[in-house]
Amino acid sequence: MAKRPDALHRDLLARMEQCQTAESLNDEVIIPFVAALEKVCAARGYVLNIFGETANLAVSDEEAAPVIYDLIDEYLDSRAADDQDEEG
């Protein structure tokens, strides 16, 4: 029987809801999910970069990965500096 297209989404949400702390969420859901992403990306020759205050996911080839990292890092640094300027 084929699974519904949103089956992974529902499964992840259910697993996340069972986690009572940030540590358990990290250990039981986030780390295993990211490890699976890394394994698939590595097998296909992609580089996986995860950044951000909420989430930014970039999948690229090895050559583009450092450039993407630098762009996102520079952007996040500029936002942090802007936030500090606004706080005064």
- Residue 5's φ and ψ, nearest 5 degrees, are -60, -30
Q: What is the pLDDT of residue 40?
A: 92
Cα–Cα distance between 1 and 51 in angstroms, integer?
36
At 59, the amino acid letter reads V
pLDDT digits (tens, 9 = 90+) for 20-77: 999 999 899 988 988 898 899 889 988 887 776 677 777 788 898 889 889 988 988 8
